[in-house]
Structures are given as C-alpha cells and as structure tokens.
Amino acid sequence: MSTGHRRPRIAPTAGLAVLSIMAAQLIAVPAASAAGFERLLNGGFDDGTDQWWSTGNTPIAVVDGRLCAQVPGGTAEPWDALVGQNDVPLEADQPYRLSFTASADRPVAITAAAGMAGPPHSTALSGRVQIGTTAQRYEVAGTSQVGAAKGQVAFQLGGAAEPYRICLDDVSFSGGAIPPGAIGDLGSPVRVNQHGYLVDGPKRATVVTDDQTPLRWRLLDDAGRSLAGGTTKPFGHDALSGDSVQLVDFSRVRRPGSYRLRVGDQESLPFRIDTDLYTDLRRDALA
C-alpha cells in the first residue's frame, strides 16, 4: 500500500459491462451475481490499510474500522483521486459483484470499478454510485469481458468541486470460476525481452522464484550449447509485479544469434541478440 504514488488508473466508462447498481437494503441481490470466489484481501480493514493504496492527493486511514479518504476538490476527472487494490484476478465472460458500505460527509457521486491495472486499461465492471451521509450498502454487478491475472478494483473519487471525506467498509469483489491462486500457467518463470537485445546494449532477465539463494544460469544457443553462465542476483519482492524475483545479467555476451536462458531446470522463450532489432519497428507499429 502506498499513498504517495499514483497507481495505474482503470479507464473511464467506455466498454462497460454494468448490469445493476443498487442499495442492497432496497433491492434483493440476484443469486447469480453472488456466485464465485472472493477476490479482495482485507476488505473489512481489520489489518489497517494493508493491500489498499491511494493516489498521493487522497490520503487514507482506518478510523473506527472503516477506510476513510480525504478527497481533494477541484479535480477534473473521477480517476484524478483513487483508492484501490491491485493483483485482483479477472476472467472474461464471468459474472462479478463489487459491493461495499459507504458514507460521506456530504452527498457525492463516485465510480466503483474493476478492470486492467495497465494498458489498455480495459474496464471489466463500472458504475456511478450516489453516496449519502448515512452508511448504506451499494452494489455494482455485471459480466466481465476482460481477463487479467493482475487486475484492479478502484474507487474513482475525483471530479468534485469541493473537498469531502468518504468512508468505506466491508468491501467485497466476488465472482469468477477459477479459485484464487489457481489462475493457470503464466509461462516460464525465466522472463526475457522476447523482442531481443542489442549486441552493444545491456542484457538482463528476471527469474520469478521464492528461492532466496543465488541460482546457476546458462545461456544456450540454438544447438543447446552453453555460451555463458553465472549466478543470479536475489532481488526479493518486486512491488510492480507482486512477485519475488532474482536477476540475471548477461551483458558481456556480444555474439549475434538466437538464444534461450536456462536457470536451474527452467528455460526462457527464445530471443535474439542482434546488431539491429528495430528496422521493422515502424512497419510493425503501423500494422
């Protein structure tokens, strides 16, 4: 959790999959929208602000068991002030429900949304909700058209002319068919630049592993011959990906060719080392 860095925003309401926005005490929740698995951690804020972040202009704190945010006035767009949680898995064509209890020190409209944390910032679920001064239960429900292993749930609080204070509690984001922690195979844990590396440039790779001791690595050519080797450098937790990683630096290799990087019994996808990797980049970008 960080309150000092702006996190990637979920895109505005283009391409929404909103089926309902409701105060739960007024309208019964359909059984279908309640199915699936809980996707959020610390939704009741028993562990303080753990797992939750906000943009630097919107400080958050847990007060009387609720997450309260001081929202600035005068921002232009809803996503100019955010509170959210990352690393939320999303599956396409699955129903989801984002529900929460909220109140503010004056009536205000906010956007509750889920979607991709990075480009193209596609929205899986979004709804505009009118928050009153008395705590009520709200829900946004729908079917996601977005699949992402590390999605995001966010409350878009900006766009108000005057500052206000909002408090959230019992935040839940449920749905999907795959249990938490079983999203599927994300590929080799040895992550390289698949486009390639320049002969004269730096050549670095990342290994996703919980192992804290250095690991042996080898650089293999097309024939499976080992051209270079060494040991990884433990890095630890990477805040952007949420993974525990180690680093490989093979910058000393300057021979053009096609390669794979092997760390232990794991191999990367193939990649090139070449003098010119970008001749076709303009054409590829246009395509």
**157-175: per-residue pLDDT in tens?**
999 999 999 999 999 999 9
Sequence-distant (≥ 6) Cβ neighbours of residue 138 within 8 angstroms: 21, 22, 23, 24, 99, 100, 101, 102, 112, 129, 131
For residue 199, the surrounding DSSP H or E stretch is none
- 64 and 164 share a domain? yes
Termini Cα distance of the chain:
39
Q: Do 114 and 170 have their domain in common?
A: yes
> Do both 210 and 280 map to the same domain?
yes
- Total number of domains constituting the chain: 2
| CA contacts within 13 A on the Cβ side of 88 | 33
Structural domain including 71 reads 20-175
Regarding whether 74 and 194 lie in a shared domain, the answer is no
Q: What is the domain-level CATH number for residue 84?
A: 2.60.120.260
Rounded Cα distance between 170 and 99, Å, is 8
Question: 24 exposed, middle or buried (CB, 10 Å; 0-12, 13-18, 19+)?
Answer: middle
Same domain membership, residue 115 and residue 33 = yes
Are 41 and 171 within one domain? yes
**How many angstroms separate the Cα of 183 from the Cα of each of 1, 38, 201?**
23, 14, 35
Residues 227 and 273 in one domain: yes
Q: Where residue 281 sits, what CATH number does that domain have?
A: 2.60.40.10
Least confident residue range of 18-22, 45-49, 77-81, 210-214: 18-22
- Band of the pLDDT at 17, cuts 50, 70, 90? very low
- Over range 21-42, report the average pLDDT: 53
Instruction: Kindly state whether residue 184 falls inside one of the protein's structural domains.
Output: no
Same domain flag for 30 and 167: yes
In a shared domain, residues 171 and 57 = yes
- What pTM, to 2 d.p., does this model score? 0.57
Domain presence at residue 92? yes
Give domain status of residue 216, yes or no: yes
Mean pLDDT of 213-225: 93
Residues 127 and 265 in one domain: no
Same structural domain, 247 and 144: no
Q: Is residue 5 part of a domain?
A: no
Residues 130 and 86 in one domain: yes
Of 258 and 286, more confident: 258
Lowest-pLDDT range of 2-16, 192-206, 269-283: 2-16
